[in-house]
Structure 1
Amino acid sequence: MFIAAFERSGPGSRIGATIDSTISEPNAKINHGLWFRVPGGTFMLGVAADKAQEKQVLKLKDRFFNSLNFE
């Protein structure tokens, strides 16, 4: 799964909390991501895969991260 998301800062912000709370679960997905904190919120670019598919996904990770432009 390839993810591009923006979340505004505030008391209801959940992106970081969700990742932090689920990463240690035994059946957790393998995540590779970039986080950009900017005034007003957080951008997240991520790649998630089952462990068995991680090698194939990592071959595409940099292509995905480099395909997006921020102005």
Structure 2
Amino acid sequence: MRDLMAELKELRLHGMATALAELTAQGESNTASSKWLLEHLLEQEHTDRAMRSVSHQMNMAKLPMHR
């Protein structure tokens, strides 16, 4: 299983990391669906950041547009 706390901190989402810690402290029944959703949101965030990074690098390289 993924280390959600580490991923949240890596993405500088410290408030969400704190909220996850509080949810986890309440018990497993409260966190099962939350963890599933959070894993998918983190995956999408990683993908989005990678796509924006490539887009930014392409813009900074000032490559001619392909037409």
If the length of structure 1 is used for normalisation, what is the TM-score? 0.30
If the length of structure 2 is used for normalisation, what is the TM-score? 0.31
> Greater strand percent: which structure?
1
Rg comparison, structure with higher value: 2
Q: Which has the higher contact order (CA 8 A, sep 6+)?
A: 1
